[in-house]
Every structure is written in C-alpha cells, then in structure tokens.
Amino acid sequence: MYLTGECIHLLLHKIFEYFESQIMGPRAKTTMRLMSKEMPSQSLVANHKASIFCAVCGDTALGKHYGVNACNGCKGFFRRSIWKNRTYACRYQGKCGVAKEQRNACRACRLTTCLSVGMNPRAVQGDTSDSASTSSSPHMVSYDSKIYTKEAECQTELSTISSHPTSPTNLPFASSASASASPCSSISTVHSHCVATTLPPNPSLPKYDHLLMTLTRIFERCDENSPEPQPNTYCFEYAFYNPHCICNRTKLTPTGQRVATLPEVLQDFRRIFVLFTDVLSILPEFSRLDASDRMVLAKSRFSFFYWWLTCCWTAKAGCPGVCYANGSYHPIDKQLQAFPDVKGVTELSVETVSKPLANIHITDAEILIGSVFAIFYEFPLPPRMSYASSHMLSEARDHYTQCMITVSPYAHSEVKSASRLAEISLIFSSITNLKYLTSDNIELSDVLHVMEVDQLFSDAFDVHRPID
C-alpha cells in the first residue's frame, strides 16, 4: 500500500505523541503541540532516560518541579512570578524563542512557556521555600484563570515599555511573511530606525579583506571533472578528514527554485558538511587544538553552521521553506515535504531565524564571517574540552566577534554595530532550539525506518541512536 507524504507525517506525529506520553507522562502531550517553544525531550529509548532537559528552556534538569521537568533557573523564575503576581508584556507579539542562552531576555514569553508546558501555579502555593519573605497576605497570588493562560502578556514589566520594535519595509518574503512580526526583530530600539535597505559604506572593511577573500574562494570552490564518490557509511572523524569520500564540491546555488526530493535533502547535507570541513581547515584557532578537541568542537558546531547558512540563504531567496545549496528548498507545507518534519522545524526556522535575518538585511560579508562566528559562538559550550583548548576558543570567539562588528554595514558607529551584533546573537539563540528539534526529527525517522540514518548523519546532528 502506498502512503502519501501527508499520511506519513500524520502517522509519525501520532506515533511520536504516543511514545512521548508513555515515556514522559501526560504533560508531554501539551509540549508536543507547542513546537515553537519545545526543547529536547527525553529519548525514545530507555538508554537515554538519564538525559533530562528543562521543558521550558532546554537546560539540564535535575527533576520535576511544579509538574514538569525544569531546571533550577526556570523553577525559581516561575515561583517568583506566581508568588509576586507579576504580569509581563512582550514587545514582539509573544513569539520570542526561549532557550537557555537568552531565557532572561523576555520574561513574558518565558512565563507563557512555563504555563504552556504544564507548570502548575497551584503547586506553588504549597512551596514553603520562600515563605519567610512572602508569607504576608498582600503578596499571596490570586489564581485567577484569566491571568494564567497561554495568551499571558509578556517581557519586562509593563511600566518599562517605552518603545516599539523595528518595522522593516521590504521583506524578501511572501505577503504572509511580511504581515507577521519578527520574534527577534530588534534587541535595542534606540537605533532601530536606522536599519534601511540602502546601507552606508563600511570604511574599516579592508582590515578583514584576507579572511573574506579566503572564505569567498572556499564558497566558490568546485571540483571539476571529478567522479562522484560511491555511497558509503563513514564515521564523523574519517569523513571530516576525507571529505572527497562524501561528495564533490558542486557549485552552491541557494536559489530555492524547486521543492526538494529526499535525495536532494541528503545531498545538501553532504555538500554543507564538505563546506564545513573546508572552512575549519583554514582557521588557525582550529588547527592549534589537539586532535580529540578538534573533533569535539567539530561535532558540536556543525548543526549551527548548517542552520546559519540555510537560514541566511532562505532570507535571501525568500522561498517558502528552508533553502538548500542545490537550488531546492524544503517546504513548510507538510503535504510537499520529502522528509517528514514532525517537529515543525522548517516553519520554526523561517519564523525565528530567516525572517529576522531578512529584517536586518543581512549582507553577504556578514553571512561569510557569520559562518565562522557560528563555529565559535558561545552557547552551548563544547563539552569535554581541555582548559587550554577552552582558553583558545574563548580568544577565537572574541576575535571573530570583532570580525562581525567590523564587517557590519554600520561599523563606523560603535553603538549601531554593537546593536546589530546583539540582534544577530539573539538569532543564534534561536538556532540552538533548531539544533535540538532537528536531532529529535532524525531520531524518530531512524527508529521508524522512514529514512536510513548513517553514522555521519547521526553524529553531525547529535542524534541519540538506540543500541542494536
């Protein structure tokens, strides 16, 4: 019997929802419906039950608090908000991503997420940890259901809101995209009106001409008259040092002109993986790491590199989905998807990353330097790194942060360039969310044999595979 793409998606969604309810409890059903707020769940296999993540921000959780798995930070935030009966408001229509790197950026969306994933306000009433400071009746919270809804107002106290987010004019998206507000359109509204389609010249660019020229050559490199390597399974380390075994360096054509087939989805992954190895090979900071730390860094940062490029290409192409390097795109429309996107990562990437990038009119120079910045971005820190390597990565992070400021179209203004870097950093926090949801998508496809996931694909996206 032949099943359409839509039927496969619905089947996978129902199966995954059932698995989540059996493993994580009733609260997981609520979490599954909130794709835009969801962080990594427990693995489908028993071997990974020990890895518990906060349902609010994705940080490590030590156990359940107020009904759901939550970290101490979100536990304390929720308790204080309920005890003190706080009301917040979000500047960006309640669409801010809540990840551990910037969970304090929007208190409104954080509280909304706490309630959405199932944190129970009534459970706070029996918590006596703050009773010494909040025992008097004026501080007791009223559990009015009108206050604690999914539509709760958000971000900073209402009295502190004195400005409005950027209103970009020429979004390279369809009308539906331009009508919706960006969740991260601006971190500072002081100079938001300065973002325009026509950008001023950058007088300090020559300082980083060499890096830009080198990256440009890497992105334009093509393997001519080379036979296509035969499909095979390789571990991450072997593939990293032998990229010619993965795929040829075809011309990058991120135009998003056609809907991607499953072979094109996999070919795009392989092509960006080869590009990833080429970029890392020219970075002196990477070559100074010892061999084991190089692999730890490479494995932990590929997903950020991948999503940065595809989302930048999507912002430039304006296609209704994730733009690939081979001229195709993975559509938001689930009926057209070759790869079942149970977690809704495609739409989430467009809403939380690509549209904000389009809003700030990301430049080609920023895309190139940003591909390196994504590798050394601060969060999450690579695990199991030596002290010497961590110190070198910290210095590299500072260096490429300065590179991002220098190639900014507003490099002549310290305040404007810093504000722009802050906007881009918020966007990177949204990529953290995509990383975890992508891993869940691939893991589910592997378990249900929708797609054969080889070791390289699994390692690159940090997929926890069941032990045979």
- CA dihedral (344, 348, 354, 357) in degrees, to 10, reads -170
pTM of the model: 0.60
Say which CATH topology domain 175-460 has: Retinoid X Receptor (1.10.565)
The answer, yes or no, to whether residue 234 has pLDDT greater than 60, is yes
Least confident residue range of 29-38, 154-163, 367-376, 438-447: 154-163
Q: What is the pLDDT of residues 316-366, one digit of tens each?
A: 999 999 999 999 999 999 889 888 888 888 999 999 999 999 999 999 999
The answer, yes or no, to whether residue 68 has pLDDT greater than 70, is yes
29's CB contacts (< 8 A; 6+ apart) are 17, 20, 21
Report the pLDDT averaged over residues 38-42.
40
CATH C-level class of 5-160: alpha beta
The answer, yes or no, to whether residue 78 has pLDDT greater than 50, is yes
- Residue 313 identity: W
Report the pLDDT averaged over residues 182-193.
31
Q: What is the DSSP string of 44-65?
A: SSGGGTT--B-TTT--B--EEE
The two three-digit tokens of residue 149, written as one number: 């809804």
Domain ranges of the chain: 5-160, 175-460
Query: Confidence class of residue 381 from pLDDT cuts 50, 70 and 90?
Result: low
The answer, yes or no, to whether residue 257 has pLDDT greater than 90, is yes
Number of neighbouring beta carbons within 10 Å of residue 245: 14
pLDDT at 228: 84
pLDDT at 450: 65
Least confident residue range of 18-22, 63-67, 333-337: 18-22
